[in-house]
Amino acid sequence: MKRILSFFAFLMIAFSSFAQEDGVEMADALRSNGKIYVVVTVLMVIFIGIVLYLVRIDRKLSKLESGQKK
């Protein structure tokens, strides 16, 4: 759990450094049209899906490892 929290903290620090750039035309256009929310939502769904998939695989692998030790 600590790894996940530290990973998210690292991501927030990294994204905040990128957010300080000015004059990105594509981002300004997406923000003005309101499409930036669609982009952010799609990226979050993909990211959450990958995280859930990795957690599921980790649980299955742990179960297999504990079964072999007995």
Residue keyed to tokens 């993909």: 46
User: Distance (Å, rounded) from C-alpha 19 to C-alpha 66?
Assistant: 45
Q: What was the pLDDT predicted at 44?
A: 96
* Per-domain boundaries in the chain: 22-70
Q: How far is the C-alpha of 23 from the C-alpha of 4, rounded, in Å?
A: 33
Alpha-carbon distance of 51 to 44, in angstroms, equals: 10
Interval 2-59: pLDDT, tens: 777 787 777 777 766 665 556 667 777 777 888 888 889 999 999 999 999 999 999 9
Is the pLDDT higher at 1 or at 61?
61
